[in-house]
């Protein structure tokens, strides 16, 4: 009805393989959505993660997502405000022994989610209880894959976990799409890779995002400057590619603002 607020979209970027671009995509989504005026919270669930580093956070002994999950502090106390959006940092791994341990993150996010249009969750390169907490809390999943080494290996494992979460914990969870990353603009993406990506997407009842992220050095440089590539080099090919993904997530509500 009129005046009713759209629900907060909670999106997990996941793949049990490392190096496929999860953190890159999360920092682009946080930075890009924030730039468009959306209220964004980035959550880093990777103990080895560098989302905070990427977005120039150096808050030393501030509270982390683990303090929140352990109940050592309120979630509001652990959220850091940055010029690129709000961030909840990761830290060393903790034991999860609480009852309903799959719901720990979801329950914590309930306290703050009305303050955000988007919550974007970065995950470790594994399928563990942290990953499951992310899926249980989410409305959508984005699965980045490296275009040139795309394979079906590992897909049945992630598919099993997604289906288990959908069936047992969170029927609202959708796979928004597979995101092809690091492809070489000088090589036409081979028919084989596209076919394989479509096959993976079909197994997940999803799609391959029409936007693909080209390989470019600016992406790898940006974190050293404490920025997402979107702000570091807005005109880089990869930044323009990532903006298309930001647009796909932002929808009509948060169009890209004109440059002054």
Positions touching Mg ion (CB under 5 A) are 22-23
Please say which residue, 40 or 75, places its beta carbon nearer to ligand ADP. Answer: 40
* Cβ at position 126, least distance to ligand ADP in Å: 11
What is Dmax (Cα atoms) for the chain? Answer: 52
* Cβ at position 205, least distance to Mg ion in Å: 25
Please say which residue, 238 or 243, places its beta carbon nearer to ligand ADP. Answer: 238
Rule CB under 6 A: say whether 233 interacts with ligand ADP: no
* Beta sheet of 40-44, edge-to-edge order: 79-82, 85-88, 40-44, 118-122, 9-13, 140-146, 174-181
Rule CB under 6 A: say whether 150 interacts with ligand ADP: no
Please say which residue, 14 or 117, places its beta carbon nearer to ligand ADP. Answer: 14
Question: Which phi and psi angles does 145 have, rounded to 5°?
Answer: -135, 150
Q: Among Mg ion, ligand ADP, none, what does residue 238 contact (CB within 5–8 Å per kind)?
A: ligand ADP
Question: Which phi and psi angles does 128 have, rounded to 5°?
Answer: -125, -165
Please say which residue, 75 or 121, places its beta carbon nearer to ligand ADP. Answer: 121
The C-alpha atoms of residue 124 and residue 135 are separated, in whole angstroms, by 13
Exactly one of 14, 21, 113, 243 binds ligand ADP (CB under 6 A); that residue is 21
Q: Among Mg ion, ligand ADP, none, what does residue 219 contact (CB within 5–8 Å per kind)?
A: ligand ADP
Rule CB under 6 A: say whether 19 interacts with ligand ADP: yes
Whether the CB-CB separation of 144 and 21 falls below 8 Å is answered with yes
Rule CB under 6 A: say whether 220 interacts with ligand ADP: yes
Q: Among Mg ion, ligand ADP, none, what does residue 113 contact (CB within 5–8 Å per kind)?
A: none
Can you list the alpha helix ranges (DSSP code H) found in the chain? Answer: 22-35, 51-54, 65-70, 75-78, 104-110, 129-137, 155-168, 191-203, 217-221, 229-232, 237-250
Please say which residue, 90 or 113, places its beta carbon nearer to Mg ion. Answer: 90
Rule CB under 6 A: say whether 158 interacts with ligand ADP: no
Q: Who contacts 178 (Cβ-Cβ below 8 Å, separation ≥6)? A: 143, 144, 145, 197, 200, 201, 204, 206, 207, 208, 209
The C-alpha atoms of residue 174 and residue 190 are separated, in whole angstroms, by 28
Residue ranges in contact with ligand ADP by CB under 6 A: 18-24, 125, 181-182, 213, 215-216, 219-220, 238
């Amino acid at each position: 009805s009129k005046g009713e607020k759209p629900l907060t979209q909670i999106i997990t970027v996941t793949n049990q393989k490392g190096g496929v671009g999860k953190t890159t995509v999360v920092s682009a989504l946080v930075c890009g959505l924030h730039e468009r005026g959306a209220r964004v919270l980035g959550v880093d669930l990777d103990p080895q993660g560098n989302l905070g580093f990427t977005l120039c956070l150096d808050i030393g002994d501030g509270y982390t997502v683990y303090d929140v999950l352990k109940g050592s502090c309120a979630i509001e106390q652990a959220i850091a405000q940055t010029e690129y959006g709000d961030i909840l940092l990761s830290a060393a791994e903790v034991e999860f022994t609480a009852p309903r341990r799959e719901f720990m993150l979801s329950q914590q996010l309930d306290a703050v989610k009305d303050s955000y249009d988007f919550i974007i969750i970065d995950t470790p390169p594994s399928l563990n209880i942290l990953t499951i907490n992310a899926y249980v809390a989410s409305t959508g999943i984005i699965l980045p894959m490296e275009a040139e080494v795309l394979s079906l290996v590992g897909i049945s494992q992630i598919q099993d976990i997604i289906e288990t979460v959908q069936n047992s914990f969170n029927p609202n969870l959708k796979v928004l799409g597979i995101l092809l990353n690091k492809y070489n603009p000088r090589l036409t993406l081979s028919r084989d890779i596209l076919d394989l990506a479509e096959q993976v997407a079909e197994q997940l009842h999803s799609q391959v995002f029409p936007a693909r992220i080209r390989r470019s050095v600016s992406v790898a440089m940006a974190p050293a400057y404490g920025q997402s590539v979107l702000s570091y080099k807005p005109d880089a090919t990869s930044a323009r590619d990532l903006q298309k993904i930001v647009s796909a997530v932002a929808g009509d509500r948060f169009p890209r603002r004109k440059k002054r």
